[in-house]
Amino acid sequence: DAIRMNRSVKFCIENNRVLLKEKIGTVWVSFMAFELDKDVSATINALPVFTGIGTVAPLCSIYVWNEHYRYKISLSSAGRVKVEEV
């Protein structure tokens, strides 16, 4: 959505919900959210902001897991995404 709409979008995980936020004035406001399945958990070590030109800051890792699998999703500043099973 950040590139398509040419705006900055913040990615957050709160209470097992994924939130996408846009900055309105000085406040980040949620414009899209979805609940993770009750059997899936996720954490994030930073609050990355995707820009309209495809970059991401700061670098971060997102961990997603259930009782059988655990994945680490790494986001680079150049907008690259790496997914690995841990």
Provide the pLDDT confidence category of residue 2 given band limits of 50, 70 and 90.
low
User: Which has the closest alpha carbon to 70: 84, 80, 81?
Assistant: 84
Q: Is the pLDDT of residue 5 over 90?
A: no
Q: Which pLDDT score, from 0 to 100, does residue 52 have?
A: 83
Neighbours of 74 (CB within 10 A): 13
Q: Tokens for 45?
A: 């070590």
How far is 79 from 55, CA to CA, in rounded Å? 5
Q: pLDDT by residue (tens digit) across 59-81?
A: 999 999 999 999 999 998 887 89
Q: pLDDT by residue (tens digit) across 8-54?
A: 899 999 988 999 999 889 999 999 999 999 999 999 999 999 888 88
DSSP-derived 3-state class of residue 3: helix
The amino acid at residue 15 is N
ω into residue 58 within 30 of 0, thus cis? yes
